[in-house]
Amino acid sequence: MARVLIVDDSVVMRDIVRAHLAGLALDLEVASNGEDALARIGSASQPFDLVITDYAMPNMNGLELSRRVKERGGTLAPKIILISANKELRERDLLATGYVDAFFPKPVDGTQLAARVSMILALTVPSAPVVPSSRRARPVIRVVIADDTEVGRTLLARVLKADPEIDVVGMARDGQGAVDLAVRENPQIILLDAMMPGLDGVAATRRIMALAPTRVVIVSDQQGSRPAAQIFAATEAGALDVIARPAWGDPMGPQAVALRDKIKMLAEIPVVRRWADGPRSVRSRRGSSLRSFNRATAIGICASTGGPAAIAALLPGLAGVVSSVPILIVQHVLAGFDEALAEWLAEVTQLPVRLATHGMPLRGGVIALAPEGKHLVAQSPLTIGVIEGPPVGNHRPSGTPLFESLARHFGDGALGVMLTGMGSDGVEGLRALKAAGGSVLVQSPDSCVVSGMPGAAISRGYADAVLSLDELGPEIAERVRAPARSRH
């Protein structure tokens, strides 16, 4: 399997690139800057075949990193793809240096990037014709802003208009205005305040997804049970993600840049019209379950973008087995909203979802949710651990420590469940879980809001079954109820 190192000082951009490559059979690693990249390349037990690096990074830019990598590696140096939003860079000039093998402008065309990576690494996968990146027009992302305060609308517009690749095509002061603009302007993204008078964020999201489906993103600077409940209800109604409102300040500051990067990332995600306006359809099974499987004695679930709604849909199918098996959940969530997410899930599922605490008993009867900023693990077969360890793949909490701990303490009784999400968090943990004899169920990519994490698990060969959300719950319950060994 080809090894690829992704280098960018932005977590968001690293996740974007990982998502673009999730469908390829690659061993992906990340580095946060040039020095980190050089250290990883130098200490790698197996050499990297390709480095994909951003150009603008602190201390050492991507071109300097490319020079050092090529000069140190000589004829054995990895191939290098440079990515940049700098409009003055030209592919032919970069190729002429001898340090760069390909160049892509931001926002990155995911299909073209995957095709170029496939070509460079000679992967045996279908690839789209590669259009020279210097000739591709950069698409402008059409955005609508909906906020009931003039200050909120002005702030977001100021941040977005600082980027010529984002066009604010309309602003609304209430939910109905957002619906009207969605129908009239056909935006790629709608930034929506959840707490608005009249037609609130939840109702507006539901109506938008029914009349003019697009990517709805909830913008929030509010915490507490009621605002958070509105936010998570909006994700269940079809909102794609939740982002924090940036503070007033430099529109080129880190918060503003992160917001624009996030919008560019989300604009590349296909629009998924979900079940907000009707019954959920039962999807056909994708792939096949094992002909035999072990009884599940502990369950770990990992999710990211689109996860709150997916978890809310999955858990009711486990109502009959919650009392007999421990269930631990890692969901990447906006800072300050972890407790509210646990409360919302408990309310909408009518199941005992609780925010995990260190030392909590690991037993049936409680569904434990990872707190924000800490890893959730099985400390022992009887105890939950909530630990401060370093981020894993830039995530904390991460699914990898969770799955690894279940493998360690439950062996072939461990069941890992990978739900919708961007990137590949948790996939390394699934490797340990499989090595211990455990089982892995994966949400089918076509039922995901973002298929990066499930796609990564599938491409690595870790999935024992690939199922829709409607099928996952019954399948998990069947494995919990099974004797030591059962056959379909």
Residues assigned a catalytic role: 304, 332, 425
* 229: its two tokens: 């409940």
The one-character DSSP state at 392 is: B
Q: Which residue has the tokens 């209800």?
A: 233
16 Rama sector, left if φ>0, alpha if ψ -120 to 50, beta otherwise: alpha
The answer to whether residues 331 and 426 touch, using CB atoms and an 8 Å cutoff, is: no
> Where does 298-394 have alpha helices with state H?
307-314, 338-349
C-alpha distances out from residue 483 to 352, 434, 472, Å: 25, 20, 19
Q: Which residues pair with 376 in a beta bridge?
A: 386
Tokens of 265: 């990332």
Whole-angstrom Cα distance, residue 215 to residue 270? Answer: 8
Residues 6+ apart with CB under 8 A from 45: none
Pairing of strands 166-172, 26-31: unpaired
The stretches of 198-304 forming alpha helices (DSSP H) are 201-211, 225-237, 254-267
Centre a 10 Å sphere on the Cβ of residue 219 and count the other Cβ atoms it contains: 23
What 3-state class would DSSP assign to 410?
helix
Helix 452-459 vs helix 427-435: angle between axes, to the nearest 10 degrees?
40
